[in-house]
Amino acid sequence: MTNIRSFSTKPSVFHDFQPELMINSPGRINLIGEHTDYNNGFVMPTAIDRHIHFKFRLNNTENFCRIYSDTYTNGFEFYLDNTPVRQNDWKDYLLGIVHELQQNHKKLEGFDCIISSDLPTGAGISSSAALECGFCTGLNELLQLNLSPIEIATLAQRAENNFVGSNCGIMDQFASVLSKKDHFIKLDCKSLDAEYIPADLGNFRLLLLNTRVSHNLADSDYNSRREECEAAIRIIQEKHPTITSLREIDHTLLEQYQQVLSSQTYQRCLYVLQENERVQAAASALRSNDLFALGKLMFASHRGLQHQYEVSCPELDFLVDYAENKEFIYGSRMMGGGFGGCTINLINSENIEGYITEVSEAYFKEFNIHPEAIEVAPSAGTEIIKLVSHE
């Protein structure tokens, strides 16, 4: 049973829509610290200057909600007095938020919302977190729900875990909501302590190269990596019951389990320990403006993801191998969950244009696909624009 009605014609209410609230919800990049968030480790993401845009207005009904996406050119309407049912498409990110808010006994009312975007989807820059967090922030403002930014990020993560069914960590949602312009966040995913480190990149820029592939096992492989780490913890807990995540394990303890764990699981765990160390080293490099050292850590991170954690793919490896031969690129690595999506490259600004042409040709020759190049800048988290004050 579902109370959700989908439509593809834009409802007339959105033709000359006068919003009372606008939200700009950014995507994110991650400089280093991959697959560490759900292991209670460290990550170093920030928001980017590409957004999903929301316009909201209360519609003076108790429970009728209407949403339209200019990006997907379709929309849906539903009533708040029914429990949302999964639709297996973009709507689930929004319905998941409604569901979590209801679980938290937040009082909702009818609203209209229109969505547009300049944030590519499926590129590994977290359009899903931008959708969840922007929508949640909008409802929080519109209905005065009194959620803090951290509560919005964690609620959005729960919506993705519980409703959408992806077992993601907190990195994407935290970065989308809580980033600061021109800074990276060194985030401790255990305590949620955030250190904002200035992104002084001098003459260097961040260039994303989108492989334009998304291998279809991405979701199940992501969840299975997480399960492997959790299974290792359960084995270690038999003798060390206070340990709850890989965060509490050091190399000496892990070595004691080298013969107990399968060699694959051992490599997964070793990668996580090493990647956490790389994030610490990257934070020091960034604080002292040592971009060369930072770049080396990025390459090392990629090799760990490729050979130990095994979440890369030939297209990502090709782009990183190509970058490794260029003296004007200090660092390159796959970014996000893996199996497709983007590489992130720390590249001298003078060489960007020429490099895009060169690498695109080489990539096309190899895979018959035109990669997409996106230059990004560390940007602020969710932006809230109130147009009409609300009684």
The residues annotated as belonging to the active site are 172
Instruction: Name residues whose C-beta falls within 8 Å of residue 164's C-beta, 6 or more positions apart in sequence.
Output: 86, 92, 93, 96, 128
Residue 39 CB, shortest distance to ligand GLA, in Å, is 9
* Cα–Cα distance list, 137 to 92, 173, 382 (Å): 16, 11, 8
Count other Cβ atoms within 10 Å, centred on residue 369: 14
**Stretch of residues binding ligand GLA (CB under 6 A), selected from 91-99, 164-172, 213-221, 357-365:** 164-172
Instruction: Name residues whose C-beta falls within 8 Å of residue 46's C-beta, 6 or more positions apart in sequence.
Output: 28, 29, 31, 175, 179, 180, 183, 184, 185, 199, 378, 379
Say how far apart CA 160 and CA 91 lie, in whole Å: 12
DSSP track, 61-110: -SSEEEEEETTTTEEEEEETTS-----SSTHHHHHHHHHHHHHTT-----
Give the per-residue contact string, 323-352, with ligand GLA (x = CB under 6 A; - = no): -------------xx---------------
β-strand partners of 197: 184
Identify which of residues 34 and 112 has a Cβ nearer to ligand GLA in the complex.
34
Identify which of residues 80 and 127 has a Cβ nearer to ligand GLA in the complex.
127
**Stretch of residues binding ligand GLA (CB under 6 A), selected from 19-27, 31-39, 368-376, 378-386:** 31-39
Identify which of residues 44 and 115 has a Cβ nearer to ligand GLA in the complex.
44
27 binds ligand GLA (CB under 6 A): no
* Cα–Cα distance list, 65 to 5, 68, 94, 385 (Å): 11, 10, 11, 21
Say how far apart CA 308 and CA 287 lie, in whole Å: 28
Identify which of residues 39 and 78 has a Cβ nearer to ligand GLA in the complex.
39
Work out whether the CA dihedral 252, 258, 259, 260 comes out positive or negative. positive
Binding test (CB under 6 A) with ligand GLA, winner from 95, 119, 168, 232: 168
Q: Per the structure block, which two tokens stand in for 88?
A: 């297996």
**Stretch of residues binding ligand GLA (CB under 6 A), selected from 82-90, 100-108, 163-171, 365-373:** 163-171
**Stretch of residues binding ligand GLA (CB under 6 A), selected from 30-38, 66-74, 143-151, 351-359:** 30-38
Residue 365 CB, shortest distance to ligand GLA, in Å, is 29
Say how far apart CA 36 and CA 248 lie, in whole Å: 13
Identify which of residues 172 and 228 has a Cβ nearer to ligand GLA in the complex.
172
DSSP track, 143-190: TT----HHHHHHHHHHHIIIII-----SHHHHHHHH--TTEEEEEETT
Give the per-residue contact string, 282-321, with ligand GLA (x = CB under 6 A; - = no): ----------------------------------------
172 binds ligand GLA (CB under 6 A): yes
Say how far apart CA 274 and CA 266 lie, in whole Å: 12
Residue 351 CB, shortest distance to ligand GLA, in Å, is 28
171 binds ligand GLA (CB under 6 A): yes
Give the per-residue contact string, 178-217, with ligand GLA (x = CB under 6 A; - = no): ----------------------------------------
Identify which of residues 132 and 141 has a Cβ nearer to ligand GLA in the complex.
132
Identify which of residues 19 and 96 has a Cβ nearer to ligand GLA in the complex.
96
Q: List residues binding ligand GLA (CB under 6 A).
A: 34-35, 37-38, 168-169, 171-172, 336-337
